[in-house]
Amino acid sequence: MSFDLVLFGGTGDLCWRKLMPALFQAFKHGTLPAGVRIIGIGRDDLSDERYRALIASRFGDVELEKRPSSEEFDRFAALLEFVSMDLSKPEHYSFLKNKLDQRQADTVVMYLATAPNLFATIAEQLRAAGLNTPHTRIVLEKPLGHDLASNRAINHTVGQVFSEQQIYRIDHYLGKPAVQNLFALRFGNALFEPLWRREHIANIQITIAEELGVEKRGAFYETTGALRDMVQNHALQLLCAIGMEPPINSHADAIRDEKLKVLRSLKPWTTETLAQDVIRGQYSAGAIAGQAVPGYREELGVSPSSNTETFVALRTEIMNWRWAGVPFYIRTGKRLAGRDSRIVVNFRPTPHAIFNSQIGMANRLVINLQPKDGLELHLLAQAQDKRQNSNNLAPVHLDLDFDKRFGAERVGAYERLLLDVMDGRLNLFVRSDEQEEAWRWVEPIIDHWRNDTQGPRPYASGTWGPSATSAMIARDGSCWSEEC
């Protein structure tokens, strides 16, 4: 079976940082489809050999374990070709069509690793050139629009060119092994599902924290911000995975139907909740790992008077019978105290205490996403006192490290998602109605901030964000996991 993968944005940041390393890993693992050809698309005037040399030079900047040896790269490079294109010129798409027709691959994937404002143009040009065949699939990178209207416009245009079954809206968080294990934890085991409800769970916390700042992406971040970059997609997809009802089977639409129900059940925003339950922040100068770092407004490409948020924390609820009254807390930000993405499920205390214990949320399930990947179950056990029988309880925990257990068998997020595209599996991709519902829910926050003259709250780099974040969760008598 022959296969063509066409990478629009083939010389861009995403391509060399994420896509090429993931494709090389699949090549190394022997999981790429037989007869695959990878065609990079860009404005540069490059021969195939110069393109291969460019990608080889970029591999020096990726993680050490993902770098190929010279011999490995030479074998991988044989799959790479390059086509120079101006994405606005129809004749360049005709050239691409002729190149693809010469091979007549069984499946063609068009991966749009470009700015979202080019998605509609590329889709329409693909149709005009006759490149929207039934055996073609198209992958759309986030962010898909900057608000509900632009998201709908992109989905409408692309949907006129390709069927929903041909469109793969990628969210790389769904490809993370720990997120896939979240589905396995819930729906492949009988242990937790009876407890996965309001009678037993006090609150759920989702944290996506980064130590890095905006680096060289200041101009991009100025038009995006943390809400659009992280909450509207990654964080809400995690919330859906936690909150959804068990699907009737493992088919893509069965899973996506249940996620959509969660998004439609999120508590609507009011003027009061927008003021109390949503906090935005912006990092100022501080220290990370003992090294001084600049504030956001001093970053390259950022306005000295910028009001763009680099941190968001919010409180919401899922208004259905399973979750009514259970707070869900989301926080995400840059230049925080650590790189730490996790989901913490805090269970309710025992209804009647017969032991001495001053510990608040004693029972919790921690789902670690990065950099650690695994599960922790926190319990209480009777403390051992050699002098006398003790009635005191002490915290203990069970720790399952997926990297240690499955290390050699693990597949990275982009590798998993690219392989799923090639195999035609839609389970880990987002449907258009999911995306629109997520945008509909966050849009009142965008509107509220547009009219808010106070701007984001400053927080020092190397901390966990504005102090108001702790006050927000404290109103419910709780605290963030690192504070308890």
| Token pair in block for residue 105 | 């691959």
Q: Taking Cα atoms as reference points, which of 344, 345, 349, 376 lies closest to residue 360?
A: 349
| DSSP string over 133-176 | -TTEEEEEPSP--SSHHHHHHHHHHHHHHS-GGGEEE--GGGGS
Q: What backbone torsions phi and psi does residue 29 show, to the nearest 5 degrees?
A: -80, -5
- Contact of 66 with 24, CB cutoff 8 Å: yes
DSSP 166-211: GEEE--GGGGSHHHHHHHHHHHS-SSSGGG-STTTEEEEEEEEE-S
Specify the amino acid at residue 26: A
Number of Cβ within a 10 Å radius of residue 355? 12
CB atoms within 10 A of CB 181: 19
Which residues pair with residue 168 across a beta bridge? 139
User: Angle of helix 119-128 relative to helix 90-103, nearest 10 degrees?
Assistant: 60
- What one-letter code names the amino acid at 34? A
SS3 content of the chain, % helix, strand, coil (to 5): 40, 25, 35
Catalytic residue among 234, 378, 397, 448: 234
Three-state secondary structure along 313-332? EEEECECCCCCCCCCEEEEE
Residues 343, 357 contacting (CB under 8 angstroms): no
251 is catalytic: no
Burial class (CB in 10 A: 0-12, 13-18, 19+), 43: exposed
**Cβ atoms of 461 and 285 closer than 8 Å:** yes
**Beta carbons within 8 Å of 240's beta carbon, 6+ residues apart:** 258, 259, 262, 263, 434
What is the DSSP track for 28-48? HHT-SPTTEEEEEEESS---H
| Among 5, 311, 48, 239, residue whose Cα is nearest residue 139 | 5
Residues marked active site are found at 234
